[in-house]
Structure 1
Amino acid sequence: MSIPDRRDLIADAAISTVATAGLRGLTHRAVDAAAGLPAGSTSYYFRTRSALISACYLRLAELSVADADRWEADHGRPSDLDSAAGALAALLHHWLTAARDRQLARFELSLEATRRPELRADLQTAGLAARSRATALLAALGAPRPAPAADLLVAWTDGLLYDQLAGALAATRPLPDVTELTTVVRRMLEAALST
């Protein structure tokens, strides 16, 4: 296994650990166990807990961009409001289901960065990747001010994900299906395009 592969394996195991055990459960030893690596492997690649958390931020951003790239490769770049709503709804559905743990970890890690200034730069780098994608999408759809519209779209998307996964009613209601999400996303896009 090469060094980059080992780093990704460790970051993925750390993300999973945060999703299931919270930040209190994020230790080098716990990540070694989750990754199936010999004791000391995680601390070899990520000396401090802060370095491990930073690796999580960057890996989460990388995986989210890869999700969007994979959808685009399979279905083509969205070119109108309907295809964009369908694309984003499918992506949200993936994040609410198959990639649920990644989103839960992202929320927990984001809160940690508000309390630890040394972590903010990596969180910002991760956030800029999402905003860059949203800006490009909204520009392609004809938004008069795509960057501010992208900020709103990302905020709405994060709010929807948080509400569905960790909000007050998350445990008592079913997740929306792709059709329901497409309707909601279309409204979000329409509002963003009018900004």
Structure 2
Amino acid sequence: MSQTRERALDAAITLLGTGGVHALTHGRVDAEAGLPRGSASNHFRTRDALVAAAVERLEELDRRDWAAMNLPREPTLDLFLDAVERFVEISVTTDRVRTVARYALSVEATHDPRIAEALARGAGLIQEWGARVLADLGAADPQAAMRTLMAYADGLMLRGLLRPGTAEPRERMAAVVRACLGRPGDGPERGRGDPAPLSP
């Protein structure tokens, strides 16, 4: 990807995450990216092409960040909870703009199958990793369990975006994971203190 194209798409994601889909225009992308006027339209002839490329850029960033995460090879309940907590916290703090952009595009995806497909590919990265971990932890139906946990995480992220600083107690997260594992009577692994609150 050329540097100009990458700058334009990162600017498009910033606009989506700060102003919603109506903020996304070729001219505003040029201004946000500090590019000469007409640069975005030169790379993306239509607004639909710009939106589609922004979704693909989100997927690319997701793959890059997911590959960089230090994910456990021998998972335990505690390590899995660590990963869930970290994912939710990063999504509503460091990557807040990207998360809001993804939600904005999710609305567009309800009537644009291309956007829906691209967003689904990004979500599939997390789905497959989580299902493998849950299988190792003993889940009877790892894929279904991970779909439930992803819906739960989506709720936590949306709440975190709307109410910054709101943290889900770790014991409540552990209870949800245990329920998905089919082990409602188990307790979380020992050795952890109280959960740290999410940063505003």
Q: Fold-level match, TM-score > 0.5?
A: yes
Please identify the structure whose Cα radius of gyration is greater.
2
* Residue 142 to residue 58, structure 1, CA distance change in 2 (3 Å): farther
- In the other structure, the counterpart of 1:146 is 142
1:186 and 2:199 correspond: no
Contact 2:62 2:122 in 1 (8 A): no
Partner of 2:122, secondary structure, is helix
CA RMSD of aligned residues (A): 2.3
TM-score relative to the length of structure 1: 0.82
Q: Matches of 1:13 and 1:81 in 2, distance apart?
A: 38
Aligned ranges 1:30-41 → 2 under 5 Å? 30-41=28-39
Structure 1 unaligned spans of 5+: none
- In the other structure, the counterpart of 2:8 is 10
1:53 to 51, 54, 73: 51
Question: How far does residue 118 in structure 1 lie from its aligned partner after superposition?
Answer: 4.2
How many residue pairs align between the two structures? Answer: 183
TM-score relative to the length of structure 2: 0.80
* Residue 19 to residue 142, structure 1, CA distance change in 2 (3 Å): same
The answer to which structure has the higher helix fraction is: 1
Q: Matches of 1:181 and 1:36 in 2, distance apart?
A: 42
Question: How far does residue 78 in structure 1 lie from its aligned partner after superposition?
Answer: 5.7
Question: How far does residue 109 in structure 1 lie from its aligned partner after superposition?
Answer: 0.7
Aligned ranges 1:8-157 → 2 under 5 Å? 8-72=6-70, 76-77=72-73, 79-157=75-153
Question: How far does residue 125 in structure 1 lie from its aligned partner after superposition?
Answer: 2.3
Question: How far does residue 115 in structure 1 lie from its aligned partner after superposition?
Answer: 2.6
- In the other structure, the counterpart of 1:175 is 166
| Alpha-carbon displacement from aligned partner over 1:49-95 (angstroms, at most 9, x marks no partner) | 2222222222223323433332316xx44610001101221121111
Structure 2 unaligned spans of 5+: 184-200
Partner of 1:115, secondary structure, is coil
Q: Give, as a single letter, the amino acid of the residue that structure 1 aligns with 2:152.
A: W
Q: % of aligned pairs identical?
A: 35
